[in-house]
Amino acid sequence: MKIGIVLSDVPTYSETFFVTKIRSLKELGHDVILFVSNKTRSFDLCKVILSPRIPSSAIRRVFFIGFQVLRLLVSCPTRLFRFVILERKARRTWAMVARNLGISAALLPVKLDWLHFGFGTFSLGRENVAQVIGARLAVSFRGFDHYVYPIKHPGAYSLLLRVADKFHVLSQHMKQDLIRQGVNPTCIEVIPPAIDVSKFRANEYVETTTLRIITVARLHWIKGLEYTLHALRALVDRGLSFHYTIVGEGSEYDRLMFACHQLGLTEYVTFAGKKSHDETASLLRNHHLYIQYSIQEGFCNAVLEAQLAGLLCIVSDADGLTENVVNGETGWIVPRRNPLALASKILEVVGLPEEEHALIRSKAIARVCEQFDVSEQRKAFASFYAAV
């Protein structure tokens, strides 16, 4: 079976989801082709096809589209005409047809059994390609493109939801959301993120008089980090001794640094920046408590890794996080956007006897090993591309 996967760039080897998926499909005997719009690093797991970029200049864009039309007229004229017909049936203007032709040019000549868009937003403008080339269409939805993008662009996925053969989502919450939008439940597969459990081993509880708290997240509003900082201010006011480390980089760095200053938290918070997968694993093992107080979250690998590393985990009730952690059994769930509730929960957790801490950690480790190891993900994707 030949499977085409569409991403923005080739994955790094620390991006275990895509790397594991591609490697597993290859081991099962499938031929995998990766289609990307950027190629910033080498990738030797499968064939990579770089899609041409549409020029920003209007004049150059006309020549670019003209060249692609001529190239497709020579290589696959029937597919070219069929693509245009389907685009017009979808009530797209000629300008939109031209743009969509440009972004689909690398896909149209290729023979595939499955065309799989790694994120929902990557399918936009290319929803008709699979039908044109005689392939089945699959799409993966993750947090941002499932929950946030449609709010900014209502109806963006209306065509996709009608024509896709299969949907991959990260949680039951996302599956139920698609069902409410009219998608047949039999077309939706829940395959949560997974981790290599051999990479993270739990240490004994870190002995120190200062509570060490950590979050691994990009510095983005969706991660709720400013709410976390407000909760930590409340902990300072209540006399708790702690230090908080944020691992990650992003557009909100200045805002969060300034929030630390205004809240009087500068001496309590460290912005550790971006770290490698191995460095992050080492950092996790030297902390007590992990917080993921996101406003929205598809699932979150970092929480799985924190549980496996033996940290006590407190998360928000944002979407997939409620399936990542079992409240009161493998961690704790707190309503989002409520810093005082988060602060109270931290104090409650810290005050529990060590025997209860140990029980929570052992249950969390066992659950991650049983349900979220990469071997389980391999099995799930082995059957994902079965006949629909």
CA distance 227 to 302: 19
List pLDDT tens digits, range 147-156.
889 999 999 9
- Mean pLDDT of the 372-381 span: 80
When divided into structural domains, the chain yields a total of 2
Pairing of strands 114-117, 188-190: unpaired
Quick one: the chain helix, strand, coil %, rounded to 5?
45, 15, 35
Integer CA distances (angstroms), 46 to 18, 38, 104, 158, 161, in order: 12, 16, 20, 32, 29
Which of the four pLDDT bands, split at 50, 70 and 90, describes residue 131?
very high
Residues 225, 291 share a domain: yes
Check whether 19 has a pLDDT greater than 90.
Answer: no
At 356, give phi and psi (nearest 5°).
-75, -40
Given a cut of 80, whether residue 298 has pLDDT beyond it is yes
Q: Which domain holds residue 32?
A: 2-51+106-194+374-384
CATH number at residue 250: 3.40.50.2000
Q: Compute the C-alpha angle 374/328/229, nearest 5°.
A: 85
Summarised one tens digit per residue, pLDDT across range 230-286 is 999 999 999 999 999 999 999 999 999 999 999 999 999 999 999 988 898 889 989
Whether residues 175 and 222 share a domain: the answer is no
Is the domain of 252 the same as that of 174? no
* pLDDT computed for residue 120 by the predictor: 94
Residue 31: pLDDT over 60:
yes
- 262 and 330, same structural domain? yes
Quote the mean pLDDT of the chain.
Answer: 91
Q: Is 153 found in the same domain as 131?
A: yes
Contact 311, 343 (CB under 8 A): no
Q: Are residues 340 and 271 in the same domain?
A: yes
Residue 75: how many other CB atoms lie within 10 Å: 11
Least confident of 22-36, 206-220, 321-335, 373-387: 373-387
Q: In this model, does residue 387 exceed pLDDT 60?
A: no
Total-model pTM: 0.86
Q: What is the mean pLDDT of residues 35-57?
A: 88
Q: What pLDDT score does 25 carry?
A: 87
Which range has highest mean pLDDT (13-22, 343-352, 364-373)? 343-352
Neighbours of 346 (CB within 10 A): 26
- Asked if 190 and 240 sit in the same domain, the reply is no
Domain match, 267 and 300 both: yes
Residue 203 pLDDT? 59
